């Protein structure tokens, strides 16, 4: 018998924030409050819109496959929901004529015709997975502390093989906060350049080292002690995303029409710099060794599409970048459809919520076209969804 909901039927009494050791599903399943109830309702509605023969598998991934499974399943829910709102019919895992591999969707888009779409969440890199289980447990311990008008930017420098004793860490962090001058540091923060010169609490224990940089908050503001984190560097996220685009470009061959990839990517891709490097190649500095001076910049030939004298992967009509896709970002996220410069099958705007990026080869830059509809209008949600209430009672 098919389940009625993705979530359990229970009385929800826990309104605390999500812990670092807690999975996204577990948090949403137990969180009390109207914000989280609206997110659960939306997820259930989108899940019921999914083809019935695929609902069971999707529900299992959301509930049982940890954060990676939840994120991947939600990406498919989101992409399917977009397609069903612009199409007359959406088929899951359709058979294609030239391969036994099956993409995620075949949509008959109004005004365009059949479009094959593959949805992918993340790259599998450490950057997207965040803290390890041991580090997550340490962060949860730190978040048991509450400091009036203080939060911290946390930078793990080295992680030990065994869980450390956290009581000395909590005691040391408390003593550090008591030594700080809030008003003086707040003035420095507002002046600018704070993060390059602020005091830092460097905690070490055996082979562990974590740096805590205090952030003075405004009067009346509260939040978790771990307010920001730099779990790992993410400079190389372009590499696995490029490889994924190349792999999918080869996987299905000529599908007989437009083929689009929809990628849930790290939040760094909210700017245009990172997607451009993925697709067109890294920026290289041109240096004149005779005059020992920089003479300009150019693109490396390592982009998913750019090969110096030709464009690769013409069978990929476009790539939709979905930076840090998550349920609470549904009305805030503006996806960007990056058009292939020389595709076998060109694609038009596709969805009205998509911002478009098109290479202008003559001018040597990318032109951007803004969306014609807001996500709130498109998904029929309020502009302040999932609010207007604060997510947590003490905010």
Instruction: Report the pLDDT value the prediction gives residue 286, as an integer from 0 to 100.
Output: 53
Answer yes or no: are the C-beta atoms of 344 and 304 closer than 8 Å: no
Query: With the CA atoms of 156, 160, 164 and 170 taken in that order, what torsion angle do they form, in degrees rounded to the nearest 10?
Result: -10
Q: Which helix (H) or strand (E) holds 206?
A: none
Please check whether residues 306 and 266 belong to one and the same domain: yes
pLDDT > 50? residue 230: no
pLDDT > 70? residue 34: yes
Q: How confident is the model at residue 234 (pLDDT cuts 50, 70, 90)?
A: very low
* Alpha-carbon distances of 386 from 28, 89, 273, 391, rounded to whole Å: 13, 28, 30, 9
Pick from 248, 208, 234, 217: nearest CA to 394: 217
User: How much of the chain exceeds pLDDT 90, in percent?
Assistant: 51
Domain count, the chain: 2
Please check whether residues 148 and 218 belong to one and the same domain: yes
Q: Residue 219 falls within a domain, yes or no?
A: yes
Q: Residue 168 falls within a domain, yes or no?
A: yes
Q: Cα separation of 150 and 284, whole Å?
A: 41
Q: Residue 379 falls within a domain, yes or no?
A: yes
Q: Residue 54 falls within a domain, yes or no?
A: no
As a whole number, mean pLDDT of residues 39-55 equals: 96
* DSSP classification of residue 131: S
pLDDT > 80? residue 143: yes
Q: Cα separation of 392 and 39, whole Å?
A: 14
Q: Cα separation of 24 and 329, whole Å?
A: 14
Please check whether residues 188 and 153 belong to one and the same domain: yes
pLDDT > 60? residue 229: no
**What is the separation, in whole angstroms, between the first and last Cα of the chain?**
41
Answer yes or no: are the C-beta atoms of 79 and 118 closer than 8 Å: no
Average pLDDT, the chain: 85
Last-in-domain residue among 229, 247, 275: 229
Please check whether residues 383 and 238 belong to one and the same domain: yes
pLDDT tens digits for range 315-371:
999 999 998 899 999 999 999 999 999 999 999 999 999 999 999 887 778 899 999
Last-in-domain residue among 195, 229, 263: 229
Q: Residue 325 falls within a domain, yes or no?
A: yes
Q: Residue 5 falls within a domain, yes or no?
A: no
Q: Residue 38 falls within a domain, yes or no?
A: no
Please check whether residues 209 and 340 belong to one and the same domain: no
pTM reported for the whole predicted model: 0.79
Answer yes or no: are the C-beta atoms of 105 and 83 closer than 8 Å: yes
Q: Residue 105 falls within a domain, yes or no?
A: yes
Strongest mean pLDDT among 36-40, 136-140, 156-160: 36-40
Domain hosting residue 389, numbered range:
62-125+234-395
pLDDT tens digits for range 169-195:
999 999 999 999 999 998 888 887 787
Please check whether residues 266 and 357 belong to one and the same domain: yes
Please check whether residues 139 and 203 belong to one and the same domain: yes
Please check whether residues 194 and 290 belong to one and the same domain: no
Last-in-domain residue among 201, 229, 257: 229
Please check whether residues 242 and 97 belong to one and the same domain: yes
Please check whether residues 252 and 317 belong to one and the same domain: yes
Cis peptide before 292 (omega within 30 of 0): no
pLDDT tens digits for range 79-126:
999 999 999 999 999 998 878 889 999 999 999 999 999 999 864 444
DSSP 22-91: S-HHHHHHHB-SHHHHHHHHHHHHHHHHS-HHHHHHHHHHHHHSHHHHHHHHHHHHHHHHHHHHHEEEEE
Please check whether residues 302 and 368 belong to one and the same domain: yes
Q: SS3 of 371, please?
A: coil
Helix, strand, coil abundance in the chain, percent, nearest 5: 35, 25, 40
Q: Which of 24-33, 41-50, 211-220 has the lowest mean pLDDT?
A: 211-220
Please check whether residues 278 and 301 belong to one and the same domain: yes
As a whole number, mean pLDDT of residues 241-265 equals: 89
Answer yes or no: are the C-beta atoms of 331 and 375 closer than 8 Å: yes
Instruction: Report the pLDDT value the prediction gives residue 124, as an integer from 0 to 100.
Output: 46
């Amino acid at each position: 018998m098919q389940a009625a909901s993705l979530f359990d039927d229970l009385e929800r009494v826990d309104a605390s924030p999500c812990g670092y050791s807690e999975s996204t599903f577990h948090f949403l399943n137990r969180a009390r409050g109207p914000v989280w109830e609206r997110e659960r309702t939306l997820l259930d509605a989108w899940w019921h819109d999914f083809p019935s023969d695929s609902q069971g598998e999707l529900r299992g991934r959301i509930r049982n496959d940890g954060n990676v499974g939840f994120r991947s399943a939600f990406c498919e829910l989101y992409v399917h929901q977009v397609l069903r709102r612009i199409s007359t019919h959406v088929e899951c895992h359709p058979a294609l004529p030239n391969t036994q591999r099956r993409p995620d969707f075949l949509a008959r888009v109004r005004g365009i015709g059949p479009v094959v779409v593959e949805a992918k969440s993340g790259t599998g890199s450490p950057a997207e997975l965040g803290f390890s289980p041991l580090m997550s447990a340490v962060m949860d311990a730190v978040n048991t502390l509450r400091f009036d008008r203080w939060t911290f930017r946390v930078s793990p420098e080295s992680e030990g093989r065994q869980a450390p004793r956290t009581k000395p860490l909590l005691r040391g962090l408390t003593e550090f906060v008591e030594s700080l001058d809030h008003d003086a540091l707040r003035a420095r923060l507002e002046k600018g350049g704070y993060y390059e010169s602020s005091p830092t609490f460097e905690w070490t224990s055996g082979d562990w080292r974590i740096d805590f940089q205090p952030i003075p908050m405004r009067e009346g503001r509260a939040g978790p002690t771990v307010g920001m984190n730099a779990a790992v560097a993410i400079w190389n996220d372009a590499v696995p995303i490029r490889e994924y685009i190349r792999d999918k470009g080869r996987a299905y061959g000529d599908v007989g029409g437009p083929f689009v990839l929809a990628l849930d990517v790290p939040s760094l891709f909210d700017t245009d710099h990172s997607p451009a490097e993925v697709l067109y190649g890294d920026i290289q500095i041109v240096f004149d060794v005779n005059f020992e001076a920089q003479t300009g910049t150019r693109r490396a030939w390592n982009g998913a599409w750019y090969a110096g004298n030709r464009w690769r992967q013409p069978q990929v009509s476009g790539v939709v970048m979905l930076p840090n896709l998550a349920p609470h970002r549904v009305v805030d996220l503006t996806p960007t459809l990056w058009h292939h410069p020389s595709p076998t099958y060109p694609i038009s705007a596709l969805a009205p919520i998509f911002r478009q990026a098109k290479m202008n080869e003559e001018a040597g830059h990318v032109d951007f076209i803004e969306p014609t509809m807001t996500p709130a209008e498109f998904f029929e949600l309020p502009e302040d969804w999932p609010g207007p209430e604060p997510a947590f009672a003490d905010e």
